[in-house]
Amino acid sequence: MKALVVSQHDVAPRVETLPIPDVSVNKIRLKIEACGLNFADLLMVKGTYQDTPALPFTLGMEVAGTIDAVGEGVTHLHPGQRVAVFGGQGGLADYGVFDADRAVVLPDGMSAVDAAAFQVAYGTSHVALSHRARLQPGETLLVLGAAGGVGLTAVEIGKLMGARVVACARGTDKLAVAQHAGADHLIDATTQDIRAEMKALGGADVVYDPVGGDQFTAAFRSCRPEARILTIGFASGDVPQIKANHLLVKNLTVHGLYWGGYLGFRPEVVTDSLAQLFAWYSDGRLKPHVSHALPLDRANEGLDLLRTRKSTGKVVITI
């Protein structure tokens, strides 16, 4: 089979030919149809992600496809079922072996591309906004990086949860994508002052930040008393430092969110969230935005789209 393999950190992964893996106890083997790319994939290539596998490894965190075989101990799944899996690695290949308890059976009519774009982005935003920040109807939600993989889903879910959503992104084209997803107000990070714009809107009750850097600082200063700030990631490459006395003055709360971490200590948070998200998808209330769907031999091009911020929503590799 073909697989995109990272053999050395900070070197572009290469498509290699590997044996098709054998299925083992409590595992399923998936004939992969699509794999969603994530910013974490870039960090894995660099070797700086918190869950970077040992070298060499096959890249690709979230996949969708058809079960090809099941291992001993797997009774709730069977060959022929279409599922999505967050495996953390191994997704950019023709076949992959994954933990059976991480597989989610796809709703009828859900395409492999939609499924591969779904779990990490929507899961991150839903757990962040619902479980961590406890976003309430009528509150003002400021979303930074609002046209990116997770940011766009935060706009969509925030609107579903009844918030007034302010989308911040770079340029009119990206802001148009966020507006289409339901944003009530738009801030162009390239030309407008985030703090001034938010002050005119009365400030933020919740900040969703996958960017960090100067945008975090501006959003932090835009918070209303008792606001909650969600640190999702640092796409800017700048991890902000927070002064505790500033938290004290406004009674602010900062929440860290690593979605995959819940699988290790409270997996029910993820499974309950995904059940709600797939129900919303089946009801037509969520629609993944995929700006690029590319074949496996163009996977590095897809990674470059993330690196240079030229994509909106998700980039998906079709297998």
Domain annotation covers residue 270:
no
Distance between CA atoms of 189 and 10, rounded to whole angstroms?
29
The CATH code of the domain that includes 84 is: 3.90.180.10
Q: Is 114 domain-assigned? A: yes
146 phi/psi in degrees, rounded to 5: -75, -5
Is residue 27 one of the residues assigned to a domain?
yes
% of residues, the chain, pLDDT over 90: 96
User: What pLDDT, on the 0 to 100 scale, is given for residue 165?
Assistant: 98
Within a domain: residue 264?
no
pLDDT at 209: 98
User: Both 127 and 247 in a single domain?
Assistant: yes
219 and 137 in a single domain? The answer is: yes
Contacting residues for 279 by C-beta, under 8 A, at least 6 apart? none
Could you tell me if 255 and 292 lie in one domain?
no
With respect to residue 89, please indicate whether it lies within any of the assigned structural domains.
yes
Same domain, 137 and 221: yes
Residues 135 and 245 in one domain: yes
CA distances from 309 to 113, 152, 221 (A): 20, 13, 25
Pairing outcome for strands 223-231 and 253-256: parallel
pLDDT at 315: 97
Q: Are residues 114 and 192 in the same domain?
A: no
Distance between CA 265 and CA 106 in Å, rounded? 25
What confidence score (pLDDT) does residue 240 get? 93
Q: Which residues of the chain have pLDDT under 50?
A: none
273 lies in some domain:
no
Whether residue 88 is found in the same domain as residue 129: no
Q: d(Cα 86, Cα 101) in Å, to the nearest integer?
A: 10
Residues 183 and 167 reside in one and the same domain: yes
**pLDDT of 159:** 98
**Number of domains the chain is built from:** 2
For position 284, what pLDDT does the model report?
94
- Kindly state whether residue 280 falls inside one of the protein's structural domains: no
Clarify whether residues 140 and 252 are in a common domain.
Answer: yes
What pLDDT does 112 receive? 97
Q: Which domain holds residue 28?
A: 2-118+288-318
Please indicate, yes or no, if residue 303 is contained in any of the structural domains.
yes
Position 285 scores a pLDDT of 95
Helices (H), the chain: 39-46, 112-116, 119-126, 151-160, 172-180, 194-200, 213-220, 244-250, 262-265, 267-282, 299-307
* CATH number of the domain where residue 230 is located: 3.40.50.720
CA dihedral of 211, 296, 124, 227, whole degrees rounded to 10 = 10
Q: Are residues 132 and 210 in the same domain?
A: yes
Do 113 and 136 lie in a common domain?
no
Q: What is the pLDDT of residue 295?
A: 98
Residue 70's pLDDT is 97
Instruction: Give the pLDDT score at 144.
Output: 98
**Does one domain contain both 137 and 242?**
yes
